[in-house]
Structure formats: structure tokens, C-alpha cells
């Protein structure tokens, strides 16, 4: 039997996911468990660079775990764990830091973006060190592939560089990962026509409590001034674009035809979108809420995942310690 390639993805715990998160990352990540040996971690160490509320971090870690389980992750197959439950990743990050030059980190897109937003003296060392920890996340588990969008390729390239530096210094000890560039995912428009993003405040959360709640948000979607009887172009409609994500092909084609024919208003489209969102996410929401009500079970899933992940990380870090001259792990 051919052993499946190990794939790794990290998910930063930032609260309830929206449609952009779901179609851009969560849905393709869960699908990956069918074709790869999938390792997924809740990136709570990474969250410390921006968050200062421990209760919020703990809650968000449970929320993202419940989200993946509710949407179809199988913890008996995939390995789902909390980043901070595998402290070996921090040791490997230090080993990588010792062979990584400052110039590489100064070229990181995230660091340069942070510089543009404010005074360099206000940036934390954690923000600067972020790519090293991210590389350690990848390399600590002998990851073969890391699924990313094209705009995230630099993360994998930096991990490759760091693995190469350590291997050049001490011998072939770390596996060089490859990027698994995801097929182009749809750009999910927000309620203001810009790309859906929490930073814009234009999102539709996937676990809103009811069809009525979905419809309340959907009614805020911007439209032009065309009346009910006027024909409309479905290809430039945010409502149609969102509907296509959650409705069947037949339903989507029907809405597009009604747009072109006239006699179909934006109010009709909004009602249809609200119903489709509820139909798509309602059953998962019930599972999500039930899981959140049982935090001990979520912690058990994370602990079991961490046990499996840590066994791999200890073996990798053990190899590195031997190569660099440190004593074996106790």
C-alpha cells in the first residue's frame, strides 16, 4: 500500500469564521484528509503576536476546533491539535533561528506590511520572528506538502531556505517541504462589494443563528438602483456570486436567468440567498453549538491529536539535537 504524503495546515484562532474563510481555506483543508495524511493545528502561539486576552484565545481555540469537526473533519484520521501542546516546535524554531540571517526575515511580506502600518520600534520581536516559528511548524512534522494560495508561497519558500541552511551546516536532517498550490478558489465578495475580510467589517459569518439572522446581513448587501422589472446582469451581482457558492448549479442558473429576464428584484435574490445560506450551514451550526457546549470533548480531541503530532516532532527534533551536538531528549 502506497503511503500518503503528509500535508500540514495551520489555522489561526480568530473567532467565528466567515464565508471567505470557509471557501478559501476550511473547505479545501477538510477535503485534503481524503487524499493525504493530514496534520492540522490551531496556531495559538502565532495568535499571541496580536492578542492579549487569554480567555478570548482559549475560547477561539475551541471555536475553530468545533468548526472543523462540525464541517466534516475526522479526528480519527486527520491529526488535529493545538500548536502549544507540542513545545518541541519552539526548540526547532531556535535551531532554525541560529542558521537564519536577518536579511531573510526582513524580506518577509508580513514584516514589511507591519512596518508600513507603524513605527518599527512598536513591532514585537514575535512579529519579526514569526516566519521562523512558521517554518518550524512545517519542518517539525516532516511535512511533504503544505497547501497554500499563491499569495502565501513565500512562507513555504522561507521554510525551504531555513531547512536548507540547517542541512548545509549539519548534514541532511530536515525534510524539504513543497508547496501544494491550491486550485484558484473563488474570491468571496463582502456585503460592500470588496473582498470579504474581517478587517473591512463586511463579512457573513457561517454560523449565524437562523435564516432570519442570515437574511438580516444579506439585506445589507449593496445593489444598484434597477427596479424589479428591469433586466439585470448576473455576472456583476454580489448576490448571484454568493448564491453560486451555496446553492446548486440548477438553482444558480435559474437565478441568473431570472436576472436577465426581468421581473425579479434584488429583494427576491436576497430572500433566496438567505434561505440557501441556512440550508448550507444550518445542520453544521447545530453540530457546532453542540460541540461548543462540551469543551472537555474538544480538549480530548486536541490532546489526542497532540499526542500523535508530538511523537513525530520529538523524532524530528531528536535528529536535529544529535546533528548539532546536543544530548538526546530525555
CATH number at residue 225: 1.10.240.10
Whether 306 and 168 share a structural domain: yes
Which residues sit opposite 73 in a β-bridge? none
Task: Confirm whether 253 is domain-assigned.
Answer: yes
198 catalytic per annotation: yes
308 Cβ partners below 8 Å, 6+ apart? 79, 81
Catalytic residue among 12, 112, 195, 323: 195
Whether 130 and 239 share a structural domain: no
200 Cβ partners below 8 Å, 6+ apart? 190, 192, 194
323 catalytic per annotation: no
* Count of all residues that appear for the chain in the document: 330
Q: How far, in whole angstroms, is CA 240 from its chain's centroid?
A: 25
Q: Per residue of the chain (330 residues), what is the pLDDT tens digit?
A: 457 899 999 999 987 899 999 998 899 889 999 999 999 999 999 999 888 899 999 999 999 999 999 999 999 999 999 999 999 999 999 999 999 999 999 999 988 888 888 777 778 899 999 999 999 999 999 999 998 877 789 999 999 999 999 999 999 999 999 998 877 667 899 999 899 998 899 999 999 999 999 999 999 999 999 999 999 999 999 999 999 999 999 999 999 999 999 999 999 999 999 999 999 999 999 999 999 999 999 999 999 999 999 999 999 999 999 999 999 988
Whether 23 and 168 share a structural domain: yes
Alpha helix (H) ranges present in the chain?
19-21, 27-32, 44-47, 54-70, 88-97, 102-106, 109-117, 125-139, 153-170, 211-218, 238-246, 249-261, 266-292, 295-324
d(CA 69, CA 51): 24
Whether 131 and 254 share a structural domain: no
Catalytic residue among 198, 219, 222, 323: 198
Whether 47 and 103 share a structural domain: yes
Whether 142 and 162 share a structural domain: yes
Helix axes 153-170, 295-324, angle to 10 degrees: 40
117 catalytic per annotation: yes
Instruction: Look up residue 26 and give its three cell numbers.
Output: 476550511
Whether 254 and 134 share a structural domain: no
**pLDDT for the residue numbered 1:** 47
Amino acid at each position: 500500500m502506497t503511503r500518503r504524503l503528509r500535508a500540514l495546515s495551520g489555522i489561526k484562532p480568530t473567532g467565528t469564521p466567515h464565508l471567505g474563510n470557509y471557501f478559501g481555506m476550511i473547505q479545501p483543508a477538510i477535503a485534503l484528509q481524503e487524499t493525504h495524511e493530514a496534520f492540522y493545528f490551531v496556531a495559538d502561539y502565532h495568535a499571541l503576536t496580536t492578542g492579549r486576552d487569554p480567555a478570548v484565545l482559549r475560547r477561539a481555540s475551541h471555536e475553530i476546533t468545533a468548526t472543523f469537526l462540525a464541517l466534516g473533519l475526522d479526528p480519527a484520521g486527520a491529526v488535529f491539535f493545538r500548536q502549544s501542546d507540542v513545545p518541541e516546535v519552539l526548540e526547532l524554531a531556535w535551531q532554525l533561528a541560529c542558521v537564519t540571517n536577518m536579511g531573510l526575515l526582513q524580506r518577509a511580506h508580513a514584516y514589511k506590511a507591519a512596518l508600513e502600518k507603524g513605527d518599527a520600534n512598536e513591532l514585537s520581536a514575535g512579529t519579526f520572528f514569526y516566519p521562523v516559528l512558521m517554518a518550524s511548524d512545517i519542518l517539525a512534522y516532516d511535512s511533504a506538502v503544505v497547501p497554500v494560495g499563491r499569495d502565501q508561497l513565500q512562507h513555504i519558500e522561507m521554510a525551504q531556505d531555513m531547512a536548507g541552511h540547517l542541512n548545509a551546516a549539519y548534514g541532511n536532517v530536515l525534510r524539504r517541504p513543497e508547496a501544494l498550490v491550491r486550485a484558484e478558489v473563488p474570491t468571496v465578495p463582502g456585503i460592500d462589494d470588496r473582498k470579504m475580510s474581517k478587517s473591512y467589517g463586511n463579512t457573513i459569518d457561517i454560523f449565524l443563528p437562523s435564516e432570519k439572522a442570515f437574511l438580516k446581513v444579506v439585506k445589507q448587501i449593496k445593489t444598484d438602483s434597477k427596479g424589479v422589472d428591469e433586466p439585470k446582469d448576473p455576472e456583476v451581482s454580489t448576490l448571484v456570486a454568493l448564491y453560486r457558492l451555496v446553492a446548486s448549479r440548477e438553482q444558480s442558473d435559474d437565478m441568473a436567468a431570472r436576472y436577465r429576464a426581468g421581473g425579479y428584484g434584488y429583494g427576491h435574490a436576497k430572500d433566496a440567498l438567505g434561505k440557501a445560506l441556512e440550508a448550507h450551514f444550518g445542520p453544521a451550526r447545530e453540530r457546532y453549538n453542540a460541540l461548543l457546549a462540551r469543551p472537555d470533548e474538544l480538549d480530548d480531541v486536541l490532546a489526542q491529536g497532540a499526542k500523535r503530532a508530538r511523537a513525530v516532532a520529538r523524532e524530528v527534533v531528536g535528529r536535529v539535537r544529535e546533528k548539532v551536538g546536543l544530548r538526546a531528549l530525555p
